[in-house]
Amino acid sequence: MTTFSKLTTKTKLSETQFYSVEQIKGNKVQVKNEDGELIVLPSDYVEKCLVSSDEVQTTKTMSRTDLTNLFLSASNVAMTVTYHKKVDEKEVEKQVAALYPNKGGKILSEADFKKKVSALLKSALEGEERTMVGRHYGTQDEFGRVRFIDMEVAKDPAKEYDTRQRLVDTRTITCLILRGIKYCVK
Protein backbone atom coordinates (compact mmCIF):
# COMPACT_ATOMS: atom_id res chain seq x y z
CA MET A 1 0.00 0.00 0.00
CA THR A 2 1.02 3.63 -0.23
CA THR A 3 1.94 5.97 2.59
CA PHE A 4 0.36 9.31 1.70
CA SER A 5 3.05 11.37 3.42
CA LYS A 6 5.73 9.74 1.23
CA LEU A 7 4.14 10.72 -2.09
CA THR A 8 6.14 12.98 -4.40
CA THR A 9 5.28 14.59 -7.73
CA LYS A 10 7.36 11.86 -9.41
CA THR A 11 5.41 9.00 -7.81
CA LYS A 12 3.35 6.80 -10.15
CA LEU A 13 0.21 5.11 -8.80
CA SER A 14 -1.89 2.21 -9.97
CA GLU A 15 -5.20 0.77 -8.91
CA THR A 16 -7.01 -2.52 -9.37
CA GLN A 17 -10.28 -2.59 -7.50
CA PHE A 18 -13.65 -4.11 -8.13
CA TYR A 19 -16.84 -2.37 -7.06
CA SER A 20 -20.53 -3.10 -6.68
CA VAL A 21 -22.90 -0.21 -7.36
CA GLU A 22 -24.86 0.61 -4.20
CA GLN A 23 -26.63 3.86 -5.09
CA ILE A 24 -26.85 6.40 -7.93
CA LYS A 25 -27.65 10.07 -7.18
CA GLY A 26 -27.42 12.69 -9.90
CA ASN A 27 -23.99 12.47 -11.53
CA LYS A 28 -22.41 10.49 -8.68
CA VAL A 29 -22.44 6.81 -7.83
CA GLN A 30 -21.80 5.19 -4.47
CA VAL A 31 -19.91 1.94 -4.81
CA LYS A 32 -18.68 -0.67 -2.37
CA ASN A 33 -15.28 -2.28 -2.81
CA GLU A 34 -14.51 -5.86 -1.83
CA ASP A 35 -13.37 -4.76 1.62
CA GLY A 36 -16.82 -3.26 2.27
CA GLU A 37 -15.66 0.35 2.03
CA LEU A 38 -18.15 2.80 0.50
CA ILE A 39 -16.74 5.24 -2.04
CA VAL A 40 -18.49 8.01 -4.01
CA LEU A 41 -17.32 8.43 -7.60
CA PRO A 42 -18.23 11.17 -10.11
CA SER A 43 -19.76 10.14 -13.46
CA ASP A 44 -16.75 11.30 -15.50
CA TYR A 45 -14.43 9.00 -13.51
CA VAL A 46 -16.84 6.09 -14.03
CA GLU A 47 -17.06 6.70 -17.77
CA LYS A 48 -13.30 7.19 -18.29
CA CYS A 49 -11.80 4.66 -15.87
CA LEU A 50 -14.21 1.83 -15.09
CA VAL A 51 -15.46 -1.19 -17.04
CA SER A 52 -19.05 -2.37 -16.59
CA SER A 53 -19.71 -6.10 -16.28
CA ASP A 54 -23.12 -5.98 -17.96
CA GLU A 55 -23.41 -2.95 -20.26
CA VAL A 56 -24.03 -4.01 -23.86
CA GLN A 57 -23.53 -1.45 -26.64
CA THR A 58 -23.13 -3.95 -29.48
CA THR A 59 -23.26 -7.70 -30.11
CA LYS A 60 -20.79 -9.82 -32.09
CA THR A 61 -20.64 -13.51 -32.96
CA MET A 62 -17.43 -15.48 -33.17
CA SER A 63 -16.08 -19.01 -33.12
CA ARG A 64 -15.82 -20.84 -29.80
CA THR A 65 -12.00 -20.80 -30.12
CA ASP A 66 -11.92 -17.02 -30.55
CA LEU A 67 -14.40 -16.54 -27.69
CA THR A 68 -12.27 -18.74 -25.43
CA ASN A 69 -9.11 -16.82 -26.34
CA LEU A 70 -10.85 -13.50 -25.69
CA PHE A 71 -12.09 -14.73 -22.29
CA LEU A 72 -8.63 -15.97 -21.28
CA SER A 73 -6.91 -12.75 -22.37
CA ALA A 74 -9.32 -10.56 -20.37
CA SER A 75 -7.95 -11.16 -16.88
CA ASN A 76 -8.66 -8.75 -14.02
CA VAL A 77 -11.64 -7.20 -15.84
CA ALA A 78 -15.26 -7.26 -14.64
CA MET A 79 -17.34 -9.34 -17.08
CA THR A 80 -20.39 -11.56 -17.45
CA VAL A 81 -19.83 -15.10 -18.70
CA THR A 82 -22.43 -17.69 -19.72
CA TYR A 83 -21.34 -21.31 -19.89
CA HIS A 84 -22.57 -24.85 -19.22
CA LYS A 85 -21.84 -26.55 -15.92
CA LYS A 86 -20.52 -30.09 -15.72
CA VAL A 87 -23.18 -32.73 -16.28
CA ASP A 88 -24.36 -34.30 -13.02
CA GLU A 89 -24.65 -38.02 -13.86
CA LYS A 90 -26.90 -38.82 -10.88
CA GLU A 91 -29.32 -36.05 -11.89
CA VAL A 92 -29.44 -37.39 -15.45
CA GLU A 93 -30.12 -40.87 -14.07
CA LYS A 94 -33.09 -39.51 -12.08
CA GLN A 95 -34.43 -37.70 -15.14
CA VAL A 96 -34.16 -40.83 -17.30
CA ALA A 97 -36.04 -42.85 -14.67
CA ALA A 98 -38.72 -40.12 -14.59
CA LEU A 99 -39.34 -40.69 -18.31
CA TYR A 100 -41.05 -43.99 -17.61
CA PRO A 101 -44.25 -43.51 -19.64
CA ASN A 102 -46.66 -45.08 -17.16
CA LYS A 103 -45.47 -43.28 -14.05
CA GLY A 104 -48.35 -42.69 -11.67
CA GLY A 105 -50.80 -44.40 -13.98
CA LYS A 106 -50.57 -41.64 -16.63
CA ILE A 107 -49.54 -42.81 -20.08
CA LEU A 108 -47.72 -40.19 -22.15
CA SER A 109 -48.44 -39.60 -25.79
CA GLU A 110 -45.62 -40.38 -28.19
CA ALA A 111 -45.19 -36.65 -28.93
CA ASP A 112 -44.93 -35.77 -25.21
CA PHE A 113 -42.49 -38.61 -24.66
CA LYS A 114 -40.28 -37.41 -27.56
CA LYS A 115 -40.31 -33.83 -26.19
CA LYS A 116 -39.19 -35.06 -22.77
CA VAL A 117 -36.46 -37.24 -24.27
CA SER A 118 -35.20 -34.36 -26.41
CA ALA A 119 -35.06 -31.95 -23.44
CA LEU A 120 -33.35 -34.57 -21.30
CA LEU A 121 -30.71 -35.33 -23.93
CA LYS A 122 -29.93 -31.64 -24.35
CA SER A 123 -29.36 -31.16 -20.61
CA ALA A 124 -27.48 -34.46 -20.33
CA LEU A 125 -25.09 -33.57 -23.15
CA GLU A 126 -24.54 -29.88 -22.35
CA GLY A 127 -25.08 -29.46 -18.62
CA GLU A 128 -27.02 -26.72 -16.90
CA GLU A 129 -26.49 -23.21 -18.28
CA ARG A 130 -25.03 -20.74 -15.79
CA THR A 131 -24.34 -17.01 -15.98
CA MET A 132 -21.86 -15.35 -13.61
CA VAL A 133 -20.60 -11.83 -13.10
CA GLY A 134 -17.02 -11.49 -11.93
CA ARG A 135 -13.42 -11.81 -13.03
CA HIS A 136 -10.52 -14.22 -13.34
CA TYR A 137 -6.74 -14.02 -13.17
CA GLY A 138 -5.96 -15.62 -16.53
CA THR A 139 -4.73 -19.02 -15.39
CA GLN A 140 -6.11 -22.47 -16.10
CA ASP A 141 -5.91 -25.62 -13.99
CA GLU A 142 -4.62 -28.96 -15.30
CA PHE A 143 -8.07 -29.71 -16.80
CA GLY A 144 -8.30 -26.41 -18.73
CA ARG A 145 -10.76 -24.79 -16.31
CA VAL A 146 -10.46 -21.19 -15.17
CA ARG A 147 -10.91 -20.14 -11.54
CA PHE A 148 -13.53 -17.39 -11.80
CA ILE A 149 -14.38 -15.06 -8.90
CA ASP A 150 -18.19 -14.80 -8.66
CA MET A 151 -18.66 -11.18 -7.59
CA GLU A 152 -22.36 -11.66 -6.84
CA VAL A 153 -21.47 -13.89 -3.89
CA ALA A 154 -20.42 -12.26 -0.62
CA LYS A 155 -16.76 -12.64 0.31
CA ASP A 156 -16.23 -14.64 3.51
CA PRO A 157 -13.50 -12.82 5.49
CA ALA A 158 -13.31 -15.68 8.00
CA LYS A 159 -11.83 -18.01 5.35
CA GLU A 160 -8.19 -17.96 4.28
CA TYR A 161 -9.18 -18.61 0.66
CA ASP A 162 -11.69 -16.90 -1.62
CA THR A 163 -14.93 -18.86 -1.28
CA ARG A 164 -16.34 -17.10 -4.36
CA GLN A 165 -14.17 -19.16 -6.73
CA ARG A 166 -16.06 -21.13 -9.36
CA LEU A 167 -14.61 -23.26 -12.16
CA VAL A 168 -15.42 -22.34 -15.76
CA ASP A 169 -14.69 -24.87 -18.50
CA THR A 170 -13.74 -22.63 -21.42
CA ARG A 171 -14.96 -25.25 -23.91
CA THR A 172 -18.55 -24.62 -22.77
CA ILE A 173 -18.64 -20.79 -22.88
CA THR A 174 -21.53 -19.56 -25.04
CA CYS A 175 -21.58 -15.79 -24.31
CA LEU A 176 -19.35 -13.15 -22.80
CA ILE A 177 -20.10 -9.49 -21.99
CA LEU A 178 -16.83 -7.57 -21.95
CA ARG A 179 -16.12 -3.83 -22.29
CA GLY A 180 -19.56 -3.03 -23.70
CA ILE A 181 -19.69 -5.85 -26.26
CA LYS A 182 -21.70 -9.06 -25.98
CA TYR A 183 -19.83 -11.87 -27.73
CA CYS A 184 -21.70 -15.09 -28.54
CA VAL A 185 -20.70 -18.34 -30.23
CA LYS A 186 -21.81 -18.61 -33.88
Q: Do residues 108 and 29 share a domain? A: no
Domain of 75, CATH number, reads: 2.30.30
Q: Does residue 5 form part of some domain?
A: no
Whole-number pLDDT of residue 92: 79
Provide the pLDDT for residue 180: 96
Is residue 1 predicted with pLDDT exceeding 90?
no
Tell me: the pLDDT tens digits for 117-170?
888 787 777 888 999 999 999 999 999 899 999 999 998 989 999 999 999 999
**In terms of residue numbers, what domain contains 101?**
89-126
Please say if the pLDDT value at position 76 is more than 70: yes
Q: How many domains does the chain contain in total?
A: 3
User: Per-residue DSSP letters for 120-164?
Assistant: HHHHHHH--EEEEEEEEEEEE-TTSEEEEEETTSPP-TTSSS-TT
Residues 71 and 146 in one domain: yes
pTM of the model: 0.82
Reported as a single tens digit per residue, the pLDDT across 63-75 is 999 999 999 999 9
* Neighbouring residues of 64: CB distance < 8 A, sequence distance ≥ 6: 171, 173, 185
Whether 3 is in a domain gets the answer no
